[in-house]
Amino acid sequence: MRKIFCIMVSILIPLLGKGQAFPYKSGEKVNYAIHYGVITGGIATLELKSEMLNGKTVLHSKLMAKTTGLADAVFKVIDIYEVYIDPETELPVKSIRNIREGRYRKYNVVLFDHKTRADSAILTSDLTGIHITQKGIHDILSCFYYFRNQILPVDSNLVKGKLTTITTWFTDELYPVRLRYIGTEEIKTKAGKIRCYKFNPVTETGRLFKTEEDVSFWFSADKNFLPVKIRFDIFVGGFTVEMLNYEGLVYPLETIKK
């Protein structure tokens, strides 16, 4: 269960595009249920707020996932990921990783300096010190806001099989997020049936996954590009993360009428 939550958060885990409005805004909040087969084993919440950090207005995204019911009794998990994003550059300023899984604990803060060096970024981690990375690097959360705003709206003629790669800093190392476009599908949700863009994050095969396509991610095919569903196919079965409800969207969520 712990590994599943780590993977879910790392994947599940965006700002102003040229000539278009944000596909999200401060106040956006989405609640998800995490299922193993027909069993609900946890819940997750992804929310976005406008806040002040060091005298500057930033967007603060927070993703929290936790176990519920029997899963919580057997192995209690509360994982929290946060990122503060500069709305002018779309890049992360500060990220926080707060992990509580059974007896395991991990807390780390990373500061992002995108201005001091012209050719690279300087990252300062509470746990591992200073790192020099490539220019324009993202956090694991900020990269998906960037994807929603800069990739999906611009690439309206998505080509099946096309691979998009965004380099992020996750667990104190470079972590490329690679998303392959699969096509469109209709997904049933509590809010109704939604037409979605389907992507497969390319995963490493081995301990959990049989193939590189054992994770699927669905974004609403409207102006919100809202994360609607995730599915993990692993050796021990299938896990799904499904949207329960939402609030604070920029545009009304488009559902398919009967």
Measured distance CA(236)–CA(206) in Å, rounded: 13
The token pair at 172 is: 């104190």
Encode burial over 35-50: b for 16+ CB neighbours within 10 A, e otherwise. bbeeeebbbbebbbee
**Amino acid 40: pLDDT:** 86
Measured distance CA(25)–CA(161) in Å, rounded: 30
SS3 24: coil
**Amino acid 258: pLDDT:** 66
Q: Over 80: is that where the pLDDT of 67 sits?
A: yes
Average pLDDT over residues 15-26: 64
Using alpha carbons, select from 33, 8, 38, 49 the residue that is nearest to residue 191: 33
Average pLDDT over residues 50-70: 95
Yes or no: say if 243 and 31 are a contact pair by the CB < 8 Å rule: yes
pLDDT band at 246 (very low <50, low <70, confident <90, very high): very high
Calculated CA dihedral for residues 165, 170, 174, 179, nearest 10 degrees: -10
C-beta pairs of 79-84 under 8 Å, 24+ apart in sequence: 79/5, 79/6, 79/9, 81/9, 81/13, 81/140, 81/141, 82/141, 83/139, 83/140, 83/141, 83/142, 84/51, 84/53, 84/58, 84/59, 84/60
Measured distance CA(99)–CA(45) in Å, rounded: 15
Q: How far is CA 195 from CA 27, 47, 198, 248, 251, in A?
A: 23, 22, 10, 20, 15
**Amino acid 202: pLDDT:** 79
Per cent of the chain over pLDDT 90 is: 70
Cα angle value 219/221/226 (rounded, 5°): 40
Q: Which DSSP state fits 145? A: H
Structural domains of the chain, with CATH: 2-247 (2.40.360)
pLDDT tens figures, 97-108: 999 999 999 999
Using alpha carbons, select from 190, 244, 184 the residue that is nearest to residue 216: 184
Yes or no: say if 125 and 110 are a contact pair by the CB < 8 Å rule: yes
Yes or no: say if 37 and 60 are a contact pair by the CB < 8 Å rule: no
**Amino acid 20: pLDDT:** 53
The pTM score is 0.87
Range from 106-120, 145-159, 227-241 that averages highest in pLDDT: 106-120
Average pLDDT over residues 22-35: 94
Q: Over 80: is that where the pLDDT of 154 sits?
A: no
pLDDT tens figures, 196-245: 999 998 765 544 445 556 789 999 999 999 999 998 775 445 689 999 99
Q: How many CB atoms lie within 10 A of CB 204?
A: 8
**Amino acid 155: pLDDT:** 60
Encode burial over 111-131: b for 16+ CB neighbours within 10 A, e otherwise. ebebeeeeebbebebeeeeeb
pLDDT band at 257 (very low <50, low <70, confident <90, very high): confident
**Amino acid 54: pLDDT:** 94
